[in-house]
A = this chain, B = another copy of it.
Amino acid sequence: MSIEQSNSGVVPQQDQIRGQETIPAAVAVELAQIRKEIAELRAQVLEDRAALIVFSGDLDRSLAAFVIATGAAAAGLKTTIFFTFWGISIIKKKNRKKNRASVSKRDLMQKMFSMMTPSSSKALGVSKMNYFGIGAAMLRAMMKKQQISSLEELIALARELGVQMIGCTMSMDIMGIDQDELFDGIELGGVTAFVEEASRARVFLLI
C-alpha cells in the first residue's frame, strides 16, 4: 500500500521531466516477463465457483447438499450441482403419469430398480434409522416445527439463486430414466466434463 502511494507521489514529479516518458528497454523486458508470470498465475487461480457432486439420495444428505449449495450461491459463488447415482431420485418429478412411454421402454431390471428407488424427493429416506420412512417423516416434522426450510423449499431457493443442476447421463442410462422424468430446467451432462469444470472451482465437494 505504502509503496503504491509512493509510486503515485513519484508520477506527477516525473511527468514534469520532458522526453523521459518512454520505458527503458531493459525495464520493458522485465515488465513483459512479469506480465507473463501474472497471466500464468491467473490461469492457475481457482474460480469463484462451487461444484457439488450429489451421489447420495438420502433425505438428510440431500438437505446438507442444498443447504451448502444455497449457502455457496448466497456467498456469491456460481454454484452447480451434479446429481449422480442415488442422487438422481432427488430431482425426479412426483407426477410420473406423463412418462408412461419412457417407462415402457425400460427393461425388467430397470423397472425393478425404479420400483426400489424413491419416486421423487418426497419419498427419500434418511441414511440412518429410516425404519421404512418413519425416520424421514420424523425429520421432516421436526424441521417444520423449527420453521426450517423443507428439501423442496431449498430446491426452489436454489433455483431462485441460479444454482445450475445437472443430471448424470451415465446414471440415467443405467437406471433407464429419461429427461422428462426430471424437474424442468435440469440439464444433462457427463461426469468427466463436470469433473474438468469442477477442478477449476474454489469449492468441490462430494456428498
Contacts and interface: CB of A to CB of B under 8 A. Distances in A.
Interface stretch (A93-101, A179-187, A199-207): A199-207
Interface string A13-54: 111010011111111111111110110011011101010010
Q: In the assembly, how many copies of this chain are there?
A: 3
A70 B191 CA distance: 10
A86 B109 contact: no
Contacts of A3: 30, 33, 35
Contact of A21 (B24, B68, B70): B24
Nearest to A72: B195
Nearest to A204: B203
A77 B113 CA distance: 35
A-side interface mostly: helix
Interface residues of A, number: 88
Contacts of A129: 116-117
A43 to B, nearest CB: 10
Contacts of A26: 10, 21-23
Contact of A60 (B10, B25, B85): B85
A64 interface: yes
A38 B40 CA distance: 11
Interface in A102-149: 107, 109-110, 112-113, 116-117, 127-129, 138-139, 141-143, 145-146, 148
B25 A27 contact: no
B35 A11 contact: no
| A-B CB proximity, top 8 nearest | A71-B192, A71-B195, A75-B196, A14-B25, A44-B45, A11-B28, A146-B173, A10-B23
